[in-house]
Amino acid sequence: MHPYQDSSQPLEARIDDLISRMTPLEKMKQLHYQAPAIEHLGVPAYNWWNECLHGVARNGKATVFPQAINLAASFDPDLVRDTFRAIAFEARAKYAQSVLAGQRGQYRGLTFWTPNINIFRDPRWGRGQETYGECPMLMSRMGMAVVTGLQGEDPEKLLTAACAKHFAVHSGPEEKRHVFDARPTEQDFRETYLPAFQALVEGGVETVMGAYNRVYGEPACGSELLLKTLLREEWNFEGHVVSDCWAIRDFHEHHKVTPNTAESAAMALKNGCDLNCGCVYEELPVALEEGLIEEADLDRSLRRLLRTRFRLGMFDESEEDLKSMAECCEVAGPENAEQALEAARSSVVLLKNENKLLPLPANGSNYYVCGPFASSLEVLLGNYFGMNGHLTTVLEGVSGLVGADTNIEYHPAFLADREKPNKIDWGLGPANGRNAVIAVCGIDPLMEGEEGDALLSDYAGDRRSVELPAAQKEYLLRVAEHSDSPLVLVVCGGAAVSLGELADKAAAIVWIGYPGQAGGQAVAEVLFGEVNPAGRLPFTVPAGDAQLPDYEDYSMTGRTYRFLEEEPEFPFGFGLSYSGFRYEALQLNKAELPAGEDLEVEVTVVNDSEIDGDEVVQLYIRDEDSSVRTPVCQLVDFARISVPAGTRASITLNVPAQWMQVTHEDGSRHFEAGSFKVFAGGSSPGSRSQALGASDMLDAHFELTLS
C-alpha cells in the first residue's frame, strides 16, 4: 500500500505522495474535466461536470425541487439548507449506484456546479432564475445555505462539493457573454458584485467557477485580479477554480487576448484556473514544451483538485461502502417529495388580494381555468432539472383539491407569446358567471434561459421586454374589463413580469416562479386556503421597460431596490398573507454605536387576525450622512417566523458592521461617522409597499461614531 492509499495518513501527505508518482502528462490530463483513470496508480476516471441547481440534474430520476429563484422567495435559509441536504444525499446515492454499475460519466459525480450567485441586476437576463435574487445580502445568506446543505458540516470531509459561480461580474447579455467586457465602477464592483462571492469563499465553498466574459479587460477565467488578488490573497481561498465550459477557448477566439490555444491554456493555469471545462488544456503539453508553464504550475492546480477528491472520499471507497452509500436515501422518494412540496408552498408570493377574494372556496363553486401554463410541465421545471414521474401542473393541482360539487372548465384561451393562427375566438363566454377566472400566465423556460436553451427567445435566452407578452395581455384585459367574474392571475416565470394596467384590474395576483414537481399542488393549496402564503419577492418588478437602464451597462444606478429612485410595480421583499400582521415595537440596543460593532434590533410582531401565519421580518438600513452614493436602503437581516393567530412574537435581528461601511469610488471601504436609519417591516421600505398593503414599517435612528 502506498501512503496515498492509507486513510490514516494526513491529507496533505497523501496528496504529495500521489502527485510524486505521476508523470507530467498524467498530471496534465487530470486538469481536464473528463479526468481519465491512471490504471497503474489505481486512480479511477472522474468527470467533474455535474449539476444540481434545484435537484440532481441531467442524470435521470431525481426529486425536482423549486427553482433557485423560488427558494430565494421563501426567505428561509434553513429550508434552503435542508433542501440541498436532501439533494446531497440523493447525489450520494446516485453516485454510488453509478460507480457500482461501472458508470463514471458526466452528471454522475459529486462535484456540483451550483450555486449561481451572480447578482440579478437586470430582469431581462434569462439566467436570473438560477440565482437568489438582486440583493447582495440575500444572495449571501441563501448561497451559504446551499453550500452548507451540499457540503455538510464536517471540516475534514465533504458530502458533496459546491461551487460559487460565475466569478464575478456576469449577468447578461447572453448573446454577448463570450465577447463582453464588464467594467462596473469600483464602487459597484466591491459593494454589489463581490459580497456574495466573498461570503461563500470565507464560508468554505469548495469550488469557484469563472465567467465567460472579461472583467476590466481580463478574461474572468484567467484574471489575475479575480483569481489571484481577490480569491487567493485577499480571501485566502483554499479550494479549486474551474472554468466555465469552453470559456478558455474564448481567450483567443473571441476576447483576442492570446494568439493561440497553448497561450490561452498557459494564461488560465498560471493565473489560477485549476480545472478546464473544455478542451484547451489538451494543449498544456505544448505550453510546457514552449516554456509558457512549469511543472510546478501543474502541481499547484493538481494539488487543489486532489484535495477535493480526497475530501469526498473517492480514494477510500470499498464495495461495501458504496453499497451502503447507494441506500443512504430513496432517490425521488416520498420524504424528498414532501420536502419539495414544502419548499414550493414556502415560495408562493401573494401580490394582491382585493377584498380578500383569496382564499377561494373549494366546494360548491364554479371556476374557469385558462392560460398557456395551466397544464404546462415546463413551468414546473425551470432549467437544469432532473426527471420525475410525479409532476403536478397547476390544472392538476386545482382539479385535485376542489370538491366533487365544484365545476371547473379549462381552455388555454391564449398563447404564451404570439397571436393565435386560428382566428376562431371563444371570447369571454367561458369567463362569465364564475366564482373566479384563474389565469396561469407569465413566462416559461422556453422564453428565458441560458444561451441557446430558451427556444422561443430571439435574444439568446434573454428577454427584450419585461412586460407581459401582448398575446396574454390582450386576452386578460378583456376578461378583466368585460367579464363579470373576478380575475386571479397566477404568474409564472423566474424573473419579474410587469403586468401594467392588469396589475390594477386583476382581483388577485400570485407569483409562483418555477415551483418544482409539486408546484401545482402547492399553488392550489394557497389558492384554496390550505396554505397561508408567506413568500416574498427576491427581485423588484419594474413598472414597465421604461424604468430599466441600458441592459449592457453594469453600473447599479437605477437598478434593483437598492438604487431605484422611482416607484416600482411591486417592490423587493413584498408579499401578502391571509393573516393580518402589525409591527408593535422596534428597539435598538444602542443609540450610539462605535464603528465595527454590530447593532442589535428587537422587533415585536402581532398577528391581529384569526389565521395562523408566517411573517418575514425584514431589517433595512439607510446611511443618512454618507459622503458618497449609498443605497436607498439595504437589507441587512431577516427572519421568517411563525406567529399564531391573536399572539405576538419578538425577535432580535442584527445590523452587521460590514453593511455600515461605505464604498468609495476607488473601491476602498471604511466607516464614516454619521446618522443611520433602521427600518423593520414585512417588505422593503417605500410608499409603494404601503400602497400595496404591506404590514406596518417601523423605523429608528442611531449614530455611528469613530473612536
Tens-place pLDDT, residues 556-578: 999 999 999 999 999 999 999 99
Per-residue model confidence (pLDDT) at position 501 = 98
66 within a domain of the structure (yes/no): yes
Res 362: pLDDT: 98
- The confidence score (pLDDT) of residue 132 equals 98
Judgement on whether residues 154 and 256 belong to the same structural domain of the protein: yes
Residues 318 and 351 in one domain: no
Q: Return d(Cα 10, Cα 566) in angstroms, integer.
A: 58
Q: Which domain holds residue 166?
A: 46-326
Q: Could you tell me if 391 and 485 lie in one domain?
A: yes
Copy the grid coordinates of residue 381. Answer: 421545471
Question: How far apart are the C-alpha atoms of 43 and 353, rounded to whole Å?
Answer: 60
Regarding whether 318 and 418 lie in a shared domain, the answer is no
Same domain, 347 and 291: no
* Whether 303 and 348 share a structural domain: no
The reply to whether 573 falls in a domain is no
Q: Is 138 found in the same domain as 65?
A: yes
Looking at residue 423, what is its pLDDT? 82
In a domain, 570, yes or no: no
In a domain, 368, yes or no: yes
Q: Which residues of the chain have pLDDT under 50?
A: none
Q: Does some domain include residue 641?
A: yes
Residues 354, 268, single domain; the answer is no
- Residue 368: per-residue pLDDT: 98
Instruction: Work out the angle between the directed axes of helices 519-527 and 394-401 (0-180°, nearest 10).
Output: 50
User: Considering 326, 350, 378, which residue would you say is the last residue of a domain?
Assistant: 326
Query: Which three-class secondary structure state does DSSP give residue 145?
Result: helix
Number of structural domains (the chain) is: 3
Cα angle 589, 608, 569; round to 5: 80
Last residue of a domain, one of 531, 552, 573: 552
Has residue 150 been placed in a domain?
Answer: yes
Q: 261-304, pLDDT tens digit by residue? A: 999 999 999 999 999 999 999 999 999 999 999 999 999 999 99
Task: Give yes or no for a contact between 505 and 477, defined as CB atoms under 8 angstroms apart.
Answer: yes
Domain check: are 155 and 274 in the same one? yes
The residues carrying an active-site annotation are 244
Backbone angles phi, psi at 146, to 5 degrees: -60, -45
- Contacts (Cβ under 8 Å, ≥6 apart) of 658: none
Flag whether 8 is in a domain.
no
Are the CB atoms for 426 and 475 separated by under 8 Å? no
Vertex 686 angle, CA 131 and 549, to 5°: 50
* Judgement on whether residues 72 and 190 belong to the same structural domain of the protein: yes
Q: What is the CATH number of the domain that holds 417?
A: 3.40.50.1700
